[in-house]
């Protein structure tokens, strides 16, 4: 059992306490830290390279990539997607069992030719394409517990029988091929959400038998956050246990957690180290 942490130094408030907040975790023998090489920062033992343009073009249109470049966030965007791709490659090749990816820019609002809501590229989609092409892996599941609907991920996989996408959000429950939306009502209790998730995992993920699970994890549905649906911070810890157990049951624990929405620094500071500890627990 080994856990990778993929990190790049980001501007902004929410991850200001990292990587220092990982002290005590990074020292574990089965935890490996991969960070981006920035000239202004001390080097760690592993470097994370930005993602090549040709890899991105397999998922996103040239016009969209130009529009992303024009936002001024392109460097961070490349490192975010690179972290997800590197994590996926190491989990697929069994170098790591699971991984936590600190993205600066999320995934799920980025489609083939559109982006928004703080998402610029769809790192999970890019990684899945690479694993299918270069590693011969075939079947994947993406679980999305960010508070908002993953319109980009939905679009990219709605006609793909090899990728199961389960989105929990306020939108109505519906299914299309291997895309499933599960309605989460406002002010839901942790236990009710967890019960819905367990049912969905039994009904959809287990029979699908993915080789790797991606988890688009956002904490923006936590009380006081911008997508508040009434969840207390504990919810995320319980969900981590649940999804780790699910991965252990069906795909030898292979799981990639991608940080998505949420902006409170104190929540990131308290939740992320606890979650990585669970991932790394033997």
Nearer to Zn ion, 8 or 148 (CB): 148
Asked if 197 touches Zn ion (CB under 5 A), the answer is no
Residue 134 CA to residue 254 CA, distance in Å, equals 18
- The contact pattern for Zn ion, residues 21-60, with x = CB under 5 A and - = no contact, is ----------------------------------------
Q: Which of these ranges, 202-210, 232-240, 253-261, 270-278, lies near Zn ion under the rule CB under 5 A?
A: 253-261
Q: Is 92 helix (H, G, I), strand (E, B) or coil?
A: helix
Task: Kindly give the residue spans of alpha helices, DSSP state H, lying in the chain.
Answer: 53-56, 62-69, 74-92, 123-134, 151-157, 190-200, 206-208, 234-250, 265-280
Asked if 146 is part of the footprint of Zn ion (rule: CB under 5 A), the reply reads yes
Q: Is 231 in the site for Zn ion (CB under 5 A)?
A: no
Is residue 255 classed as helix, strand or coil in its secondary structure? strand
Does 216 help bind Zn ion (rule: CB under 5 A)? no
Q: What's the min distance (Å) between Cβ of 181 and Zn ion?
A: 4
- In whole angstroms, give the CA distance from residue 104 to residue 118: 9
Nearest approach in angstroms of CB 16 to Zn ion is 20
Give the pairing type, strands 179-183 and 174-176: antiparallel
Q: Is 230 helix (H, G, I), strand (E, B) or coil?
A: coil
- Which parts of 150-169 interact with Zn ion (CB under 5 A)? 167, 169
- Interface residues with Zn ion (CB under 5 A)? 146-149, 167, 169, 171, 181, 218, 220, 261
């Amino acid at each position: 059992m080994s856990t990778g942490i993929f990190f790049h130094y980001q501007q902004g408030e929410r991850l200001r306490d990292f990587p220092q907040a990982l002290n005590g975790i990074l020292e574990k023998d089965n935890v490996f830290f991969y960070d981006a090489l920035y000239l202004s920062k001390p080097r760690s033992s592993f470097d994370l390279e930005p993602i090549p343009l040709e890899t991105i073009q397999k998922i996103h249109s040239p016009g969209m990539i130009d529009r992303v470049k024009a936002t001024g966030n392109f460097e961070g965007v490349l490192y975010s997607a690179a972290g997800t791709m590197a994590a996926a490659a190491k989990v697929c090749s069994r170098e790591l069992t699971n991984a936590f990816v600190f993205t600066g820019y999320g995934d799920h609002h980025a489609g083939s030719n559109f982006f928004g809501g703080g998402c610029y590229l769809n790192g999970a989609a890019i990684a899945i394409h690479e694993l299918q092409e270069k590693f011969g892996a075939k079947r994947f599941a993406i679980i999305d517990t960010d508070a908002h609907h993953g319109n980009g991920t939905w679009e990219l996989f709605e006609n793909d029988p090899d990728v199961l996408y389960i989105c929990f959000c306020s939108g109505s429950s519906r299914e299309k091929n291997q895309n499933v939306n599960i309605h989460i009502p406002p002010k839901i209790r942790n236990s009710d959400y967890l019960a819905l998730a367990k049912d969905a995992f039994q009904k959809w993920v287990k029979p699908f038998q993915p080789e790797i699970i991606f988890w688009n994890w956002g904490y923006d549905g936590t009380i006081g956050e911008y997508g508040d649906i009434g969840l207390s911070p504990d919810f995320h810890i319980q969900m981590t246990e649940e999804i780790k157990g699910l991965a252990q049951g069906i795909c030898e624990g292979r799981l990639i957690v991608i940080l998505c929405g949420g902006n409170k620094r104190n929540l990131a500071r308290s939740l992320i180290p606890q979650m990585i500890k669970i991932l790394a627990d033997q």
